[in-house]
């Protein structure tokens, strides 16, 4: 998903919690957590470096664009866990996500038919969440508390549209070693979990829009795509990728 908060770049100025957003009823929203430490794979940790070691190690991959078949096809379950190849792929996906200032990236966005996504995303309370999920399933959402907020996608570069999503989402899957994961997201992070799991089912945020709004987003992408890609190229050079 596009629009990492607090980063430079074309996308980041138009996304963010509360930016041009309208919130629905919040009565049953979960309370702010007392533990505000960052979370790695759903578990609080004392420190996360600004630049993740995974992203430092990883190589840049090409990000696929709307219209490519791999983005419109449900991805296959990952059956081989704990391999060196899987670890390298997750590093590469983190690196690619960092270069594009993304908050999340799914495997079919780098051309691979596998149910994997990575994320580096702040939640509604400003808590940074980092990790990956393999074979993710959304196991619950709180559907009454929806948020209508701008959403973007690295595979629809430069465009954004209002998408209504639940405020809270729980995503379950496994990590690269096969350990079970249960990741709960609130606000932007819930949006990220839903957006990335959608990708692996062959859906883009564009598929949540009216035909008219979809055409508008596609025109916006046509106008902004080259500048967005140029921003990524510059950022990649700055990061030595
Ligand atoms: Zn996306």
* Residuewise pLDDT in 10s, the chain (241 residues): 886 443 333 343 333 323 333 444 444 567 788 899 999 999 999 999 999 999 999 999 999 999 999 999 999 999 999 999 999 999 999 999 999 999 999 999 999 999 999 999 999 999 999 999 999 999 999 866 788 889 999 999 999 999 999 999 999 999 999 999 999 999 999 999 999 999 999 999 999 999 999 999 999 999 999 999 999 999 999 999 9
* Centroid of ligand 1 to alpha carbon of 2 (angstroms): 7
∠ CA 140-108-11 to the nearest 5 degrees? 80
104 CA to centre of ligand 1 in angstroms? 7
CA of 155 to the centre of ligand 1 (A): 6
Q: How far is the centre of ligand 1, averaged over its atoms, from the C-alpha of 209 (Å)?
A: 14
CA of 9 to the centre of ligand 1 (A): 17
Task: Indicate the burial class of 1 (C-beta count within 10 angstroms; 0-12, 13-18, 19 or more).
Answer: buried
**Active site residue ranges:** 196
Q: In a 10 Å sphere around its CB, with 0-12 CB exposed, 13-18 middle and 19+ buried, how is residue 27 labelled?
A: exposed
**How does strand 128-141 pair with strand 39-40?**
parallel
Going by C-alpha positions, the residue among 148, 151, 169, 168 that lies closest to residue 160 is 151
Helices (H), 120-210: 188-200
Q: Which phi and psi (to 5°) does residue 221 adopt?
A: -60, -45
Do the Cβ atoms of 189 and 129 come closer than 8 Å?
yes
Q: In what order do the strands lie in the sheet with 146-151?
A: 22-23, 146-151, 161-166
Rounded to an integer, what distance in angstroms lies between the CA atom of residue 188 and that of residue 108? 21
Q: Which residues pair with 33 in a beta bridge?
A: none
Q: Tell me if 102 sits within 8 A of 154, measured CB to CB.
A: yes
pTM (predicted TM-score): 0.90
Whole-number Å distance, alpha carbon 31 to ligand 1 midpoint, is 28
Distances 82 to 54, 174, 179, 202 between C-alpha atoms, Å: 16, 11, 10, 25
């Amino acid at each position: 998903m596009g629009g990492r908060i607090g980063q430079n770049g074309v996308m980041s100025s138009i996304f963010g919690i509360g930016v041009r957003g309208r919130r629905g009823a919040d009565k049953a929203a979960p309370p702010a957590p007392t533990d505000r430490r960052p979370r790695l794979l759903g578990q609080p940790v004392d420190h996360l470096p600004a630049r993740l070691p995974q992203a430092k190690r990883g190589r840049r991959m090409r990000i696929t664009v709307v219209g490519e078949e791999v983005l419109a096809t449900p991805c296959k379950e990952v059956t081989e866990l704990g391999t060196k190849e899987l670890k390298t792929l997750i590093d590469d996906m983190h690196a690619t996500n960092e270069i594009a200032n993304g908050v999340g990236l799914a495997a079919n966005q780098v051309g691979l038919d596998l149910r994997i996504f990575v994320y580096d995303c702040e939640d509604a309370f400003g808590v940074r969440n980092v990790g990956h999920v393999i074979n993710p399933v959304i196991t619950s959402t709180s559907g009454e508390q929806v948020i209508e907020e701008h959403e973007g996608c690295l595979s629809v570069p430069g465009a954004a549209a209002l998408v209504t999503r639940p405020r809270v989402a729980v995503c379950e899957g496994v990590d690269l070693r096969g350990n079970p994961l249960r990741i709960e997201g609130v606000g932007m992070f819930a949006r990220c979990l839903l957006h990335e799991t959608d990708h692996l089912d062959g859906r883009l945020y564009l598929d949540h829009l009216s035909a008219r709004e979809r055409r508008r987003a596609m025109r916006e992408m046509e106008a902004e795509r080259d500048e967005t890609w140029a921003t990524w190229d510059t950022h990649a050079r700055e990061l030595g990728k």
